[in-house]
Amino acid sequence: MKRNVKQLFRFFRTKPVPVNTNEILALERTKLANERTLLAYIRASLYLLLGGLALLQLNDFQNIHWLGYVALVVCVLFLAVGIFRFILLNRRLYKWNRILFSDTISESVEPETDTPQKGKPPKPD
């Protein structure tokens, strides 16, 4: 049965699907979500920057200039938190990815047969 399956995969010229495919795909989805989250942090930061600059440009409302400065400070904090979270999760995903791919490689290695190879003496029983 295994031989027929191997011949079938050789015919299609594809590799067999690893056992932990669901976990690998889940990591890829998490990477994409992490990138979307970083972009959302950047977008919010830019909105705060624009809002803060607009409040500072209003000459008729001098008493709310402090709100513009607060928006600028929060803008920088948003950007810093977004980048920090992106880097932190990226490092975790890298570690998990290495673990999953090392499991995939160890599962795909076929066990040794009992037939002796050239140049090696047979194993004693």
Per-residue pLDDT, 69 = 93
Per-residue pLDDT, 81 = 96
Of residues 12 and 38, more confidence is placed in 38
What are the backbone dihedrals phi and psi of residue 8, each rounded to the nearest 5 degrees, phi first? -65, -45
Average pLDDT for 66-92 = 94
How far, in Å, CA of 82 to CA of 17, rounded?
Answer: 35
Per-residue pLDDT, 45 = 96
Q: Can you point out the beta strands (E) in 36-113?
A: none
Per-residue pLDDT, 110 = 54
Task: Please determine, for residue 98, whether its predicted confidence score (pLDDT) is greater than 70.
Answer: yes
pTM across the whole model = 0.63
Answer for the pair 34, 96: CB distance below 8 angstroms, yes or no.
no
Per-residue pLDDT, 8 = 62
Q: What are the structural domain ranges in the chain?
A: 35-104
